């Protein structure tokens, strides 16, 4: 009986430590991207750069002109990301699909060079279909300074 209890205790310890290792793997999943190269991401993706900085796509919001409305400006797609600099400091940053006069600085040492988006069905959702952020793919290039 003593040996059975000892074997059970060892198996319990091994199974608990294996579960912890699996949890760490899931938390560290990210898309590794080089600066100055194009990449595509979707809602909730985490991007990691070689220097340890990166960002997580938190929200993608449709701020285009509403259907059946007459607008002066077409509006834009807005993206909220949580940035993580190479020192581990976090911040929130918002950018949009409208054209820029200058390249916005997403990280202290990096700027957005290119940004476009694609909706799953092509173009924008029509008036009969609701907007769904999970169907948007962002295409980007981040330049390191």
Segment 22-42, tens digit of pLDDT: 444 344 589 999 999 999 999
Residue 38 domain flag: yes
Report the pLDDT averaged over residues 14-23: 50
Nearest CA to 111 among 82, 140, 78, 76? 140
Cα 102 from chain centroid (whole Å)? 22
pLDDT at position 66 over 70: yes
pLDDT of residue 20: 45
Is the CB of residue 143 less than 8 Å from the CB of residue 103? yes
CA gap 84, 52 in Å, rounded: 8
CA gap 96, 81 in Å, rounded: 11
Residue 22 domain flag: no
Element of type H or E holding 23: helix 2-27
pLDDT of residue 32: 96
What range does the domain containing 92 cover? 29-144
At 65, the pLDDT band (50, 70, 90 cuts) reads confident
Residue 4 domain flag: no
Strand partners, 54: 48, 84
Residue 37 domain flag: yes
Residue 5 domain flag: no
**pTM score, two decimals?**
0.72
Residue 56 domain flag: yes
Where residue 20 falls (left for φ over 0; alpha for ψ -120 to 50; beta otherwise) is alpha
pLDDT of residue 55: 96
Task: Give me the number of domains the chain comprises.
Answer: 1
Residue 124 domain flag: yes
Residues in the chain: 145
pLDDT at position 4 over 70: no
Residue 135 domain flag: yes
């Amino acid at each position: 009986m003593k040996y059975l209890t000892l074997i059970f205790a060892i198996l319990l310890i091994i199974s608990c430590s294996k579960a912890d290792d699996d949890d760490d793997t899931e938390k560290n999943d990210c898309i590794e991207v080089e600066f100055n190269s194009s990449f595509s991401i979707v809602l909730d993706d985490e991007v990691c750069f070689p220097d340890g900085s990166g960002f997580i796509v938190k929200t993608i919001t449709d701020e285009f002109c509403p259907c059946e409305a007459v607008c002066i400006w077409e509006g834009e797609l807005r993206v909220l990301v949580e940035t993580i600099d190479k020192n581990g400091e976090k911040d929130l940053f918002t950018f949009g699909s409208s054209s820029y006069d200058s390249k916005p600085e997403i990280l202290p040492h990096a700027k957005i060079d290119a940004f476009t988006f694609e909706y799953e069905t092509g173009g924008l959702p029509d008036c009969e279909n609701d907007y769904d952020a999970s169907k948007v793919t962002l295409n980007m290039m981040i330049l390191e300074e």
